[in-house]
Amino acid sequence: MKNKFVKRMVSVGLMAAMSLSLLAGCSKNANDDKQGAAGTSGGEKDANFTWWIGSFSSEFYEKWEDNPVMQYINQQYWDTENGGLGTKETGTKLNFSFLTAITGSEQENFNTMIGTGEYPEIMSLVYSSESPQAMFENGILMDITEYVENYMPHYIAYLEANPELKPLVQTADDEGNIHYYAVYPFVDGVEDPWEGTCYRRDWIVKYAEPTAYVWDWESEYVKENGHPAVTPLDKAVKENNLEGWKENEVTKFSANEGTDPMETYEDNVIFPSGTSDPLTISDWEWMFEAFDKAIAERGWADDSGAYGISIPYYGYSVMGDLTSSFGGGTGSYYVKDGTVSFDATSENFKTYLECMQAWYEKGWLDPNFNTRANDMFFQIDTPDVNQGKVGMWCGLVSTLGTALRVSCQDETDQKDAFVMGCGLPINDMYGGEEQMYTEPDALYQNSRKGAPIAITNKAEGKDLETLFTYFDWTYTLDGAKTLRLGLNAEQYASVTLNPDIFAEYDFETAYTESEGEDGLPVIHTTFTSSDTLFEAILGQTLDTGLKLTSNGEYCIVEKEQPRIVSHAMEQWTKYINTGNVLDYTSLLNTEETEQYNKIHTLDGDFQSQNIPNVIKGTMSWEDYAKGFENIDTDTAVSLLQKYVDLANTAKRKSE
């Protein structure tokens, strides 16, 4: 099963608008136990560090210093000579104390710290509007290059193994010398998403007609090509070419919820693609026909709030998602095979809009999609979705399974509504060969790098050798497990916790391990994400090191979650994001950022105003495409290409 650690920063309500004289409350004597061990950190340097982490709240302890992982870290000795954990004789203790803001005031609080100069030695830059390089140039951050290179071998090794990340975390000066101005966490694989495409599976069971033929995945043609010779089915029948198709053995759909629908739900649905989950655009259109029947039976045929699917108000997603199902792309800036392009006038995007126009004309698309400017992409038209009037939408994990029943309008839906997750579709109907049978390549997935942790000029003269030795430990598997999973039994037994929520709630380990079939350790967490203790025992608020995922290269993290949720995770992570350019936009310097943002504002405004008209048929593609003639998208492309080239150069050198 998959695992997801959701970073949640909420307020403890301990501080009002945190006037930045609040370094009060920080521990004063971190060096009481400090051993000036030979060859480590220079003896008597100050190892007290204050860390701004945003906001924090827990019902189990009052301040972040009381978190069990944090208590463990503050009790360790760090061996700067050999790296990682040391002993009292070979290592040096650190003492971390923390500053937090009231939830909702993090941005204001961060800006106030920077504006007044009253900031601590360590800061999360998740709320920073400037890059670490710009903050260094403004005299706020330290150049930490020597410490990274001398005390973070695991961090450097990870970058060597993943050279495409180097330009995202390094800065080269005019002479080509590499500099580090912050430390970044890295994701070990594709993280389980918190949202994805959801659809009414119960409506498919009740209203969808099994097709006479389905894809034959055992046929030589499909094995070789990945699809039948002709699709969709009506076209194959019309052309009398059923190579790669077979007769459908299922003639009627049925479902059995069992005793616990989230775990035991089963049905015999088979899509035209011959799979139990929707795979293609023609699968989706087959579903929309079923949704039409469900909507009509409930008397909602003339209800504008009852429809098959909705899309963002501007007509597409700049992250890609469904847009990229038509040969790849985002409808905006896009990178493929090392080349950046402006995708808004490509044949792929044109094909996407042709499909959306067809869906709009057939009544499958939300007729009011362009009016929903205030709706987030994962909460479009929430009232109608919750009332059970919509067949497919982008929704949260919390809407899966039976969750919708309590808010459905229709009495039958109140008993039977069942939501499942599905992956993005592969186009098998629209456009030419280049737009068909291509996996989506631009998706809303988390970046492999997280928000940077920076060292400010307030840390100058302090024990940075020991600090960076600790940082490097978080890029080892042991360190990553500690921060992301909590203390294991051996770690818990080695420290004295006060408060001790392990003892208070009678457990001795945050996780156990076993060996998987491929030799990777398999992690079994003691608590699931739904348990209130789950986040209380994690140390991931200290957002450095590796973020472990259920499908990473270092270990497999399992957790108990409903089978329907696990299945949705598999569907939502079926394709990998490679086409987005957001990681590269963060690398632009101040002048480049201003230039890029000015252009992107112009093209974005034009698209949001006109793409809905193309979809609704009141504007031609040709007139839409002409609108970019006076927008200098080529310059924006060249700015991004500069940093994509740096990434590719780094990757080639490593190979």
Secondary structure of residue 308 in the 3-state scheme: strand
CA 121 to chain centre: 29
Which ranges in 407-509 belong to alpha helices (H)?
411-416, 464-473, 477-485, 489-493, 501-504
- 180-214 b/e with 16+ CB inside 10 Å = b? bbbbbbbbbbbbbbebbbbbbbbbbbbbbebbebb
Kindly tell me if the per-residue pLDDT of 202 is higher than 70: yes
| Domain spans in the chain, listed from the N-terminal domain onward | 30-189+450-547, 582-654
Q: Choose among 539, 416, 519: nearest CA to 470.
A: 539
Confidence of residue 653 (pLDDT cuts 50, 70, 90): low
Contacts of 177 (CB under 8 A, 6+ apart): none
* Tokens coding 419: 């939501």
Q: Where are the beta strands (DSSP E) in 404-545?
A: 419-422, 453-455, 511-515, 521-525
What mean pLDDT is reported for the chain?
Answer: 89
- When pLDDT is averaged across residues 326-349 and rounded to a whole number, the result is 96
Q: How many residues can be counted in the chain? A: 655
Confidence of residue 12 (pLDDT cuts 50, 70, 90): very low
> How many CB atoms neighbour CB 265 within 10 A?
21
Dihedral sign, Cα of residue 509, residue 514, residue 519, residue 523: negative
- When pLDDT is averaged across residues 528-537 and rounded to a whole number, the result is 86
- pLDDT tens-digit readout, 533-581: 988 999 888 889 998 887 677 777 876 788 999 899 999 999 989 899 9
* Tokens coding 315: 């007509």
* CA distances for 275 relative to 27, 31, 405, 436, angstroms: 60, 63, 27, 18
* CA distances for 561 relative to 397, 501, 567, 568, angstroms: 11, 24, 10, 11
Better-scored residue on pLDDT, 29 or 68: 68
Predicted pLDDT at 107: 94
Dihedral sign, Cα of residue 135, residue 141, residue 142, residue 145: negative
Kindly tell me if the per-residue pLDDT of 20 is higher than 60: no
Q: Choose among 316, 310, 341: nearest CA to 580.
A: 341
- When pLDDT is averaged across residues 410-423 and rounded to a whole number, the result is 97
Confidence of residue 2 (pLDDT cuts 50, 70, 90): very low
Secondary structure of residue 137 in the 3-state scheme: helix
Predicted pLDDT at 131: 85
Tell me the chain's radius of gyration from C-alpha atoms: 27
Q: What percent of the chain has pLDDT over 70?
A: 92
Q: What's the CA gap between 68 and 534, in Å, rounded? A: 12
Cis bond before residue 167 (omega within 30° of 0): no
Better-scored residue on pLDDT, 8 or 232: 232
DSSP class of 534: H
Of the listed ranges 121-130, 301-310, 402-411, 425-434, the least confidently predicted one is 121-130
Q: Where are the beta strands (DSSP E) in 60-177?
A: 77-78, 92-93, 95-99, 122-124, 171-172
* Tokens coding 381: 């038209």
For residue 435, give the H/E element and its range.
none
Kindly tell me if the per-residue pLDDT of 645 is higher than 90: no
Asked if 184 contacts 167 with a C-beta cutoff of 8 angstroms, the reply is no
Crossing angle for the helix pair 347-361 and 281-297, to the nearest 10 degrees: 20
Place of tokens 């982490």: 53
Q: What's the CA gap between 275 and 379, in Å, rounded? A: 28
- pLDDT tens-digit readout, 632-641: 999 999 999 9
Strands 333-336 and 339-342, bridge-based pairing: antiparallel
- When pLDDT is averaged across residues 523-542 and rounded to a whole number, the result is 87
At position 324, the amino acid (one-letter code) is S
Of the listed ranges 86-100, 225-239, 536-550, 611-625, the least confidently predicted one is 536-550
Q: Where are the beta strands (DSSP E) in 164-305?
A: 171-172, 178-179, 186-187, 195-200, 213-215, 245-247, 255-256, 266-267
Dihedral sign, Cα of residue 54, residue 60, residue 62, residue 67: negative
Place of tokens 């990777």: 520
* Tokens coding 420: 């499942």
Secondary structure of residue 145 in the 3-state scheme: helix
> How many CB atoms neighbour CB 72 within 10 A?
18
* Tokens coding 490: 């051996």
Confidence of residue 349 (pLDDT cuts 50, 70, 90): very high
Q: What's the CA gap between 605 and 613, in Å, rounded? A: 13
Predicted pLDDT at 650: 58
Place of tokens 């997801």: 4
**Residue 151: exposure state from Cβ atoms within 10 A (0-12, 13-18, ≥19):** buried
Model pTM score: 0.80
Predicted pLDDT at 10: 27
- When pLDDT is averaged across residues 131-151 and rounded to a whole number, the result is 94
Predicted pLDDT at 651: 56
Q: What's the CA gap between 231 and 280, in Å, rounded? A: 10
Q: Choose among 198, 202, 199, 196: nearest CA to 269.
A: 202
For residue 336, how many C-alpha atoms fall within 13 Å in the half-sphere facing its CB?
Answer: 17
How far is the first Cα of the chain from the last one, in angstroms, to the nearest whole number?
Answer: 33
- When pLDDT is averaged across residues 594-605 and rounded to a whole number, the result is 96
> How many CB atoms neighbour CB 141 within 10 A?
26
- pLDDT tens-digit readout, 243-291: 999 999 999 999 999 999 999 999 999 999 999 999 999 999 999 999 9
CA 595 to chain centre: 27
Confidence of residue 38 (pLDDT cuts 50, 70, 90): very low
Contacts of 445 (CB under 8 A, 6+ apart): 190, 191, 193, 573, 576, 577
The strand pairing partners of 521, in sequence order, are 515
Asked if 123 contacts 51 with a C-beta cutoff of 8 angstroms, the reply is yes
Kindly tell me if the per-residue pLDDT of 652 is higher than 70: no
Q: What's the CA gap between 207 and 273, in Å, rounded? A: 18
Q: What's the CA gap between 48 and 34, in Å, rounded? A: 11
Among the four given CATH numbers 3.40.50.300, 3.40.1000.10, 3.40.190.10, 3.60.15.10, the one describing domain 30-189+450-547: 3.40.190.10
Q: What's the CA gap between 138 and 132, in Å, rounded? A: 10
Predicted pLDDT at 546: 92
Better-scored residue on pLDDT, 654 or 41: 654
Confidence of residue 134 (pLDDT cuts 50, 70, 90): confident
Q: What's the CA gap between 281 and 233, in Å, rounded? A: 12
Phi-psi region of 305 (alpha: psi -120 to 50; beta: other; left: phi over 0): alpha
Q: Choose among 353, 248, 368: nearest CA to 305.
A: 368
Q: What's the CA gap between 235 and 216, in Å, rounded? A: 16
